[in-house]
Amino acid sequence: MKNFIFLFLAIGLFTGLQGCKDKTEPSGGVDLKATFMATYNGTQLEKNKDYTFGTFPLLFLRYRMYLSDITLIKEDDTEVKISDVEYLDFTPDSSPSDLSVTPEITYKNVPEGNYKGIRMGIGVNAANNAKKPSDFPADSPLSIETDYWPGWASYIFMIIDGKADPDNDGTKNLSFSYHCGSDMVYQEFTINQAINVTSSGANLNIEFDLLKLLTQEDGSLYDMANYPVTSNDVNNFKVALEVISGVERAITIDQ
Amino acid sequence: MSVLVKFGNRITLPLVTLGLMTFLGACKMDMPPGGSDPGDLENISYDPHPYTIIKPDHFPPVPIPPDNPMTMEGVQLGRMLFYDPILSADSSMSCSSCHLPQGSFTDNLAVSIGIDGIAGRRSSMSLLNVAYATNGLFWDGRSPNLEDQAMRPVEDPIELHNIWPNVIVKLKVHDTYPEMFRKAFGIPDRDSISKELAVKAIAQFERILISSGTSKFDQYQQGDLDVFDDEELDGKLMFFDEGEPLNLPDAQCFHCHGGLTLTGNQYFNNGLDSVGNLSEFPDKGRFDFTGNPNDQGKFRAPTLRNIAISAPYMHDGRFATLHDAVAQYADNGFGVINEDIFIGQMGFPIGNGQYTGLNNYQIGAIVKFLHTLTDTTFVNNPDIQNPFK
């Protein structure tokens, strides 16, 4: 009899704990492989290559960013968080080629099912952004010191660097550097996209198009000539906000 | 044995045995010196003790490769090998000949000189905090890790100009090293001494070359805000692009020399040479390794910690003083197409992508700030000095 009472208590405790959970934790599921790609106007991004930006040429040197809290959303609105933080460096200088790299990340134990969307943050969420690189182990993407700026006491969420020739004089003498950071510019959004995770897993292709990123909501191109850099003034986030908000328009997910 | 039995008497057997030993002994003369009996080190205990790297609390964890864990015995062996000229062909130079503690593990020469008196083409890089360099070593990044890096100078004809088989022979017959290799790596015999183990030991020693965390800059970082005078503080604010509220210009330094180690270990054309075509760079830098034309003239950004005691500056040692080096940057480069974008952004923006550059006060303030990075506790640390002195 004592054994039965203990069993009922254990079941009750277990059920109660499950009921307290807001999110479904991945366990016992399948692999979801995500392939990330940077593009410009639909073609894979290449460093040092001339592209056309409206009326003038430009080239890109660096494109990297953090993603946080990547979460799949089921049709019944329950959520499955598959990643706390990712660091995507599409143009690492460890790569001998100018062609951007396509990081592949496999998320384990993703529950099978039909999902209606995916949510992610562009940057580092406030909890992690309150820490410093030295707070993290060497293999953590948050241990990268060069992508942390003490002036903001923040990680640099996204970096887009390059050179442009807005006056078309044949010299790319305008350097643009969009370095977006601090909690004020952290962006979180949901992409509505059917994602079917079957017993054999799933593959996602997640693309970030820099032309779309630098195209504003009204369809006009970002005013790079007048706003080529983000401000270091901790009270001036105008350019950083405008640029990082373009990521939502730049992202395409295919399965 | 059956042949010996045929002789059938007690005198013949020792004679034949002696002859056989003599014959084998004669043969042994033709074997590489240092040949050993299997298991000849097994009577020496193998009980390695884990080595805990001492680092400042505010420094990130030190990355250690899983196939070369740090041990007291490994570090001790590595320190000996680092300072021992046994690695060079004529036993005249060691790793430390170009990486001296008092120069923050540089040789304070524009370019290093090898055993034959031939000058190399690049300056020796500081080894301070080299354990954190996980994006390639040497100025061009051709070596992926410390173990690989330590392998190379031994056989470089303008450095130690030796060959590893010669080094290994010397180590095998040495009075001390076989026992040290046994204690560090548990090898059973002298014949198991290898270049792979030698460089693992050297790499272990190099991984303990970590800042003490006692420089003026570190004191400031730890909250002692009064440690800087006004000029040093101005320099710091410009270095980290934090001076805007005080009407100080951006010097953009931290983009390439960021983080606590003051290097991102990345590769840049830092605007030293005016060339019409990238192929005209006198030293192609990273291109020599990657083959990417856009990498011509790019070099790894070195750490700026202890920069004031590691003159001269740049990959070819072209600048004798810190002032000269900073003044070069203050002019905003030459506009070469693969110059890093921040080379052209020193000073205040004046429109159309142009910047004012830095004035003499600003250059001087940055130089004063760079002096706050000097860490004499590190260079005087007895654990990293030459053990043969």
E-assigned strands of chain B? 267-268, 299-300, 349-351, 354-355
Residue range B49-60: mean pLDDT, rounded? 93
Query: Of 3.30.450.40, 1.10.1760.20, 3.40.50.300, 1.10.760.10, which CATH number belongs to B72-210?
Result: 1.10.760.10
The domain limits of chain B are 1-31, 72-210, 216-373
pLDDT above 90: percentage of residues in chain B: 83
pLDDT number for residue A237: 85
pLDDT at position B353, please? 80
Q: List CB contacts of B247: < 8 A, sequence separation 6 or more.
A: none
At A94-124, the pLDDT tens digits run: 888 999 999 999 999 999 999 999 999 999 9
pLDDT of residue B1 exceeding 90, the answer is no
Distance from CA of A248 to the nearest CA of B (A): 26
Q: Which residues contact B200 (CB under 8 A, 6 or more apart)?
A: B68, B74, B78, B147, B185
Looking at residue B105, the DSSP 8-state letter turns out to be S
pLDDT confidence tier of residue B357, bands split at 50, 70 and 90: very high
Q: Show residues of chain A in contact with B245, CB under 8 Å.
A: 233
Find the helix or strand (DSSP H, E) in which B218 lies.
helix B216-221
Which of B62, B242, B341 lies at the smallest CB-CB distance from A163? Answer: B341
- Cα(A1)–Cα(A23) distance, integer angstroms: 36
CB contact under 8 A, A93 and B135: yes
Q: What are phi and psi of B121, to 5 degrees?
A: -105, -5
For A130-139, A182-191, B209-218, which range has the lowest pLDDT when averaged over its residues? A130-139
To the nearest whole angstrom, how far is the Cα of A177 from the nearest Cα of chain B?
Answer: 8
Of B32 and A34, the structure prediction assigns the larger pLDDT to A34
- The span from the CA of B48 to the CA of A157, in Å, is 43
Which tens digit of pLDDT belongs to each residue from B57-115?
A: 888 889 999 999 999 999 999 999 999 999 999 999 999 999 999 999 999 999 999 99
Q: Give me the mean pLDDT over the A148-177 stretch.
A: 92
| Cβ distance of A174 and B353 shorter than 8 Å | yes
Query: For residue A170, with 0-12 CB atoms within 10 Å meaning exposed, 13-18 middle and 19 or more buried, which class applies?
Result: exposed
Residues in chain B: 389
Tell me what pLDDT residue A5 has: 43
For the segment B166-187, the average pLDDT, to the nearest whole number, is 97
Query: Residue B25's pLDDT is what?
Result: 35
The answer, for A17 touching chain B at a CB cutoff of 8 Å, is no
Q: What's the longest Cα–Cα distance across chain A?
A: 90
Residue A231 touches chain B, beta carbons under 8 Å? yes
The interface predicted TM-score (ipTM) is 0.83
What string of H, E and C letters represents the secondary structure of chain A?
CHHHHHHHHHHHHHHHHHHHCCCECCCCCEEEEEEEEEEECCEECECCCCEEECCEEEEEEEEEEEEEEEEEEECCCCEEEEEEEEEEECCCCCCCCCECCCCEEEEEEECCEEEEEEEEEECCCHHHHCCCHHHCCCCCHHHCHHHEECCCCEEEEEEEEEEECCCCCCCCCEEEEEEEECHHHCEEEEEEEEEEEECCEEEEEEEEEHHHHCECCCCCECCCCCCCECCCCCCCCHHHHHHHCCHHHHEEEEC
Q: What is the reported pLDDT for B244? A: 79
The A residues from 32 to 71 touching B (CB cutoff 8 Å) are 47-48, 61
Which is more confident, B259 or A231? B259
Q: What is the pLDDT of residue B35?
A: 61
Residues in A touching B353 (Cβ below 8 Å): 173-175, 228
Kindly indicate the confidence band of residue B12, based on its pLDDT and cuts at 50, 70 and 90. very low
| Average pLDDT estimate for A181-200 | 94
Q: Where are the alpha helices (DSSP H) in B47-176?
A: 72-83, 146-155, 164-172
> What is the three-class DSSP state of B301?
coil
Best mutation target, B294, B341, B350, to test chain A (most A CBs within 10 A): B341
Can you tell me the mean pLDDT for A79-97? 94
Distance from CA of B284 to the nearest CA of A (A): 14
- Dump pLDDT digits (tens) for B234-276: 999 999 988 877 899 999 999 999 988 999 899 999 999 999 9
Residue type, A254: D
Question: How far apart (Å, rounded) are the C-alpha atoms in residues B68 and B373?
Answer: 30
Q: How far apart are the first and last CA of chain A?
A: 54
C-alpha distance from A97 to closest chain B C-alpha (Å)? 7
C-alpha distance from B86 to closest chain A C-alpha (Å) = 34
Q: What is the pLDDT of residue A27?
A: 57
**A222: exposed, middle or buried (C-beta count within 10 Å: 0-12, 13-18, 19+)?**
buried
Picking from A94, A143, A173, the nearest residue to B353 by CB comes out as: A173
Q: What is the pLDDT of residue B2?
A: 34
Closest residue in chain A to residue B344, using alpha carbons only: A175
Least CB–CB distance from A173: residue in B61, B335, B340: B335
Residues from B contacting A (CB-CB < 8 Å) are: 58-63, 135-136, 141, 240-242, 244-245, 250, 254, 258-261, 264, 266-267, 289-292, 294-295, 335, 337-338, 340-342, 344-345, 349, 352-354
| Fold agreement (B72-210, B216-373) | yes
Residue with tokens 């943050």: A121
Q: Are B167 and B88 a contacting pair, CB within 8 Å? A: no
* A235 pLDDT higher than 80: no
The phi, psi pair for A247, rounded to 5°, reads -60, -40
Q: Is B349 helix (H, G, I), strand (E, B) or coil?
A: strand
Task: Give the residue among B87, B74, B66, B79 at the shortest CA–CA distance from B182.
Answer: B74
CB contact under 8 A, A161 and B341: yes
Contact A133 B354 (CB under 8 A): no
Amino acid B106: pLDDT: 97
pLDDT at B31: 39
Residue among A47, A93, A148 whose CB faces B267 most closely? A93
Q: Calculate the CA dihedral of residues B144, B150, B155, B159 and round it to 10 degrees.
A: 110
pLDDT score at B262: 95
Look at residue B384 in the predicted model and tell me its pLDDT: 98
Residue A61: its chain B contacts at CB < 8 A? 340-341
- A92 φ, ψ (degrees, to nearest 5): -65, 140
The predicted structure's pLDDT at residue A4: 42
Convert the pLDDT of each residue in B138-155 to its tens digit. 999 999 999 999 999 999
Q: Are B250 and A232 a contacting pair at CB < 8 A?
A: yes
Of B241, B254, B353, the CB nearest to A228: B353
Backbone angles phi, psi at A210, to 5 degrees: -70, -30
Residues on chain B touching A151 (C-beta within 8 angstroms): 240-242
Confidence grade of residue B5 (pLDDT, cut at 50, 70, 90): very low
Nearest beta carbon to residue A96 from set B63, B291, B349: B291
- In angstroms, the CA A213 to CA A143 distance is 27
The alpha-carbon radius of gyration of chain B (Å, integer) is 27
* Residue B58 pLDDT: 86
The confidence score (pLDDT) of residue A16 equals 39
**Mean pLDDT along residues B189-203:** 97
Q: Are A50 and A165 in contact (CB under 8 A)?
A: no
Task: Residue B244: list chain A partners with CB under 8 A.
Answer: 231-233
From its phi and psi, is residue B37 left (phi > 0), alpha (psi between -120 and 50) or beta? beta
pLDDT of residue B17: 32
pLDDT at B245: 78
pLDDT of B32 over the 60 cut: no
Examine residue A141 and say whether the peptide bond preceding it is cis (omega within 30 degrees of 0): no
Scan for tokens 């030993």, then name that residue.
Answer: B21
Q: Which one-letter amino acid corresponds to residue A251?
A: I
Residue of chain A whose Cα is closest to the Cα of B258: A146
- Please report the pLDDT score of residue A64 as a whole number: 97
Q: Look at the domain B216-373 and name its fold.
A: Cytochrome Bc1 Complex; Chain D, domain 2 (1.10.760)
Can you point out the beta strands (E) in B181-274?
A: 267-268
**How far, rounded to the nearest angstrom, does the alpha carbon of residue B363 sit from its chain's CA centroid?**
29
Residues A197 and A110 sit within 8 Å (Cβ to Cβ): yes
d(CA B245, CA B241): 10
State yes or no: pLDDT of A29 exceeds 80.
yes
Q: CA nearest B45: which of B236, B179, B160, B171?
A: B179
